[in-house]
Amino acid sequence: MSNFNISGGITGKILRVNLSDDKINVEDNKFAERWIGGRAISSWILLNELETNTKWSDPENCLIFGAGALVGTILPASNRTNIDTLNVFNNGKGSSNCGGHFSPELKFAGFDQIVITGKAQKPIYLFVEDGKAEIRDASHLWGKTTFETEELLKKEHNDNKIEVASIGPAGENLVHGSGIIVDCGRAAGGSGVGCIMGDKKIKAIVVRGHKEVKVANPEKFVERAYEAYQKIMKRPTAKIFRKKTLGGLVYNDAEQFDELWEMMHTVRNSQDVHWSREKRTKMMGKNGVGRFFKKIQACYACPVGCQPYSEIGEGKYKGAKGLGYWINSVMWSGKMDVTEPDASLKYHLRANQLGLDGDNSSVVMSWAFEAYEKGLLTKDDTDGLELTWGNTEAMMELQEKIAHRKGFGDFLADGVVEAAKKLGKGSERFAIHQKNQDTLDPYRLAKGWSLACATSPIAGRHMRGSLNLPIAFGPKGAKFNPFSYKDQPPMVFWELRSKEIEDIIGICVYVGTWSGVYALEPSDYVELTNLALGTDLNEEEFMLLGQKSYNIEKAFNTLHVGFTRKDDLPHRRFFEDPIQSGPHKGEKLDYDKYNSMLDNFYDLHGWDKETGWQTRETLEKLGLKDVAEKLANAGRLIE
Amino acid sequence: MTNIKIKHFPEKCYACKTCELICSFHHKKAFQPSISSISVERDHINGIWSWSLNDTCDKCEGEEQPLCAKFCFYDAIVIEEGED
């Protein structure tokens, strides 16, 4: 068991709030000496403090907001907020993460983590300022959009510098695929974190801080951080993002990068991956969504600047304005084959206002479109909506219905697995989920992306080591062909540990090893962390910490849900239904090759290949004997 | 460094607050935006970011150059010769 001696970076305090009895406590952050910060701490709290039979809607469920250990310092792009809780789709590990300006303010308010349990009787918001917190009435905010909520709270506090994380109607109505919105544009989606917040009747968390964040070696840290900024700015894409960013370079260059589009996209409920160049250009070419682009707003201390601010000045959606638009937003439209750029932007902005996670909700919506195509649903079931591919109006209306649980929207609001159970008629066959959570991602072509999403402890999300491009980093000498089964396990195993470190210190992947400008890497992280925290870590120890953090989430799922190897295989559609068009027409996953890839991945982790479970030997080697004991007591450890 | 001016170009500013943060470091050798000479505010809904500099700015006395300009990677803060 590591014992880090930390003398900077963190605030050293955790805020505990129990909404059932209105108790607020501040405690010392005793977890940092083992886990440093960020998600690793939150995962550890959940593993140790939740009974394994706790369900997401039980008052005992914890909702944890956690800042990375270096958030609030001048480390480039150190602004990530981790949100951890039970996953509403499966009662296993729920986790989400977003950028923006919330987490730095939380640190300046004096806290590394906020741990919320219990349930409020009526709508409340939590105001956290300078080492203290208050539970305040939010009855007047209930029903408001996230945009309205932030605007009203800034007026009420007479302070434009408060930072707000809020839910919209979707979270209030316990829509499973609902998120938490920060900065009116940074969305923490997945796991239904917005639904958990709504269930606890928390409309918003407001943070404001005037305190300091100290680092152990101030001058050297700032000097090294400046070098990190320079390293980022030297990367070829660093200055392109800020000029052409609509989720990144690729999406303004719709006529290029054919292969990447094939790997990234899913079309018509994942029946296909190919979207013609004509459709892509219509959406993302010069006259596509980019024509509404006005300017950029960057996340805290970020030199990349990837978040567009757009305003629609014409047509049916005139007046819609706000932050964000990513590759995910394009994928949402592709799911329903909608190619109207103004509608797609409006749909994105409206998702943020409603607090709806577009990744989840577009899956269940496109499932409904396919059920309609197959005649399993008719207009009598859908409140008169014609769910035909490319029907923009239907997409827009269904989004509102889901967020408000109105009519047919209520039928879809618990996610695709529940909707398919209700409909039956064989519709389970094309309810695309992973570990019970609706999954947006592509699984057929880029095998590293597929492997990481399928095995992700947070169920079919791509932020745990997924890869589709040869990266500049990774294990020495490793080969990487995105289509090869053999090349993936070592790269994914490397990348997921790097990602854990990024979430422990709170740095954005867009300056790291996974995406964006591909600049900083674990050797940078370890140097900067040591200077900030006063630790004496080496790169190997840091990667090992990342591996431990991942193993906590794995153990949590084994204990709480009992996931096994079968839950780490992608949905049957990707094995059985070939790609319908384009250069990869006819391709699908090979069951035997996929299983060999999974064997290799388990070998690298030191997990049992038959069950997919962790072994005593591996956990003890990682210094996680206490985790092994928990699993052994539950009869879910391979001895 | 009294014969220099710190100029901010709003059209180039992305409201990342790096300047606000590093300014506080100059004053305190710690990160504390509330004591910064710079204040950045953001209106997310209307897309308006504002920037202001108060009279606690000493133009980073003791540093080779004002840190706000050094750490602005959007070229929104520029140092010019001459008095304010």
Question: Is B45 in Cβ contact with A151 (below 8 Å)?
Answer: yes
**How far, in Å, CA of A47 to CA of A501, rounded?**
19
**How far, in Å, CA of A172 to CA of A354, rounded?**
10
Say yes or no: A38 and A124 in one domain: yes
Angle at A308 between CA A302 and CA A311, to 5 degrees: 150
Q: Is B9 on the interface with A (CB under 8 A)?
A: no
Say yes or no: A174 and A245 in one domain: no
Question: Is A299 in Cβ contact with B42 (below 8 Å)?
Answer: no
Q: Give every CB contact of residue A545 below 8 A, 6+ residues apart in sequence.
A: A2, A35, A36, A40, A500, A501, A504, A537
The torsion region of residue A415 among left (phi > 0), alpha (psi -120 to 50) and beta comes to left
Examine the fold and report which residue of A163, A192, A208 is the final residue of a domain before the chain moves on: A208
CB A267 within 8 A of CB A332: no
Say yes or no: A494 and A580 in one domain: yes
Say yes or no: A325 and A473 in one domain: no
Residue A439 in any domain: the answer is: no
pLDDT score, position A473: 83
A218-233 and A522-533 helices, crossing angle to 10°: 160
Say yes or no: A412 and A464 in one domain: no
- CA distances to A390, A461, A468 from A270, in Å: 14, 15, 17
**How far, in Å, CA of A407 to CA of A429, rounded?**
24
Question: Is A108 in Cβ contact with B14 (below 8 Å)?
Answer: no
From the list A212, A218, A294, the residue facing B47 with the nearest CB is A294
For residue A206, report the phi and psi dihedrals to the nearest 5 degrees.
Answer: -115, 125
Residue A39 to chain B, least CA–CA distance (Å): 22
Q: Which domain holds residue A398?
A: 239-433
Closest-CA residue of A relative to B49 is A297
Question: Is B17 in Cβ contact with A212 (below 8 Å)?
Answer: no
CATH architecture of B4-81: 2-Layer Sandwich (3.30)
Residue A2 in any domain: the answer is: no
Say yes or no: A519 and A629 in one domain: yes
Mutate to test the interface with A, among B22, B25, B44 (most CBs of A within 10 A): B44
Residue A217 in any domain: the answer is: no
Residues of A in contact with B71 (CB under 8 A): 74, 226, 229
pLDDT score, position A253: 58
Question: Is A229 in Cβ contact with B29 (below 8 Å)?
Answer: no
Residues of A in contact with B39 (CB under 8 A): 161
Mutate to test the interface with A, among B31, B32, B39 (most CBs of A within 10 A): B31
pLDDT score, position A291: 87
For residue B83, report the phi and psi dihedrals to the nearest 5 degrees.
Answer: -80, 160
For chain B, the domains span 4-81
Our count of domains for chain A comes to 3
Closest-CA residue of B relative to A227 is B71
- CA distances to A30, A116, A129, A162 from A205, in Å: 24, 11, 11, 10
Say yes or no: A358 and A402 in one domain: yes
Say yes or no: A355 and A332 in one domain: yes
Residue A535 to chain B, least CA–CA distance (Å): 18
B84 pLDDT tier (thresholds 50, 70, 90): low
Q: Rg for chain B (alpha carbons), in Å? A: 12
- Alpha-helical regions (H) of A534-590: 539-560, 572-576
Q: Is A591 on the interface with B (CB under 8 A)?
A: no
Residue A451 in any domain: the answer is: yes
A341-354 and A277-284 helices, crossing angle to 10°: 60
pLDDT score, position A251: 52
Tell me, what amino acid is at A466?
S
Examine the fold and report which residue of A163, A193, A208 is the final residue of a domain before the chain moves on: A208
Say yes or no: A71 and A203 in one domain: yes
User: Which CATH number does the domain housing residue A141 bear?
Assistant: 3.60.9.10
From the list B16, B41, B43, the residue facing A298 with the nearest CB is B16
pLDDT score, position A249: 43
B61 pLDDT tier (thresholds 50, 70, 90): very high
From the list A73, A151, A226, the residue facing B31 with the nearest CB is A73
Q: Is B58 on the interface with A (CB under 8 A)?
A: no
pLDDT score, position A1: 46
Closest-CA residue of B relative to A149 is B45
Examine the fold and report which residue of A169, A185, A208 is the final residue of a domain before the chain moves on: A208
**How far, in Å, CA of A173 to CA of A405, rounded?**
7
Give pLDDT < 50 ranges for chain A: 1, 248-250
**How far, in Å, CA of B4 to CA of A53, rounded?**
65
Query: pLDDT tens across A294-326, in order?
Result: 988 999 999 999 889 999 999 999 999 999 888
pLDDT score, position A252: 53
Say yes or no: A289 and A156 in one domain: no
Bridge partners, A202 (sequence order): A124
Question: Is B41 in Cβ contact with A160 (below 8 Å)?
Answer: yes
pLDDT at B5 over 90: yes
Residue A205 to chain B, least CA–CA distance (Å): 17
From the list A185, A229, A309, the residue facing B73 with the nearest CB is A229
Q: Is A241 on the interface with B (CB under 8 A)?
A: no
Question: Is A210 in Cβ contact with B32 (below 8 Å)?
Answer: yes
Query: pLDDT tens across A461-480, in order?
Result: 998 989 887 777 888 777 88
Question: Is B33 in Cβ contact with A242 (below 8 Å)?
Answer: no
What residue has token string 């952050």?
Answer: A29
Residues of B in contact with A106 (CB under 8 A): none
Residues of A in contact with B16 (CB under 8 A): 298-303, 305
Mutate to test the interface with A, among B12, B16, B39 (most CBs of A within 10 A): B16
Say yes or no: A423 and A456 in one domain: no
Q: Is A240 on the interface with B (CB under 8 A)?
A: no
Mutate to test the interface with B, among A159, A293, A296, A299 (most CBs of B within 10 A): A296
**How far, in Å, CA of A324 to CA of A357, rounded?**
13
Residues of A in contact with B43 (CB under 8 A): 160
Residue A442 in any domain: the answer is: no
Residue A222 in any domain: the answer is: no
Q: Is B17 on the interface with A (CB under 8 A)?
A: yes
A358-373 and A327-335 helices, crossing angle to 10°: 20
Bridge partners, A433 (sequence order): A438
Q: Is B27 on the interface with A (CB under 8 A)?
A: no
Closest-CA residue of A relative to B63 is A219
Residue A296 in any domain: the answer is: yes
From the list A72, A161, A210, the residue facing B31 with the nearest CB is A72
Residues of A in contact with B49 (CB under 8 A): 297
pLDDT score, position A248: 47
Residue A608 in any domain: the answer is: yes
From the list B33, B34, B44, the residue facing A323 with the nearest CB is B44
From the list B22, B32, B73, the residue facing A303 with the nearest CB is B73
Say yes or no: A267 and A407 in one domain: yes
User: Which CATH number does the domain housing residue A600 bear?
Assistant: 1.10.599.10
- Residue A418 host element (H or E): helix A416-423
Q: What is the DSSP string of A210-231?
A: ---B--SSHHHHHHHHHHHHHH
Question: Is B49 in Cβ contact with A184 (below 8 Å)?
Answer: no
Q: Is B83 on the interface with A (CB under 8 A)?
A: no
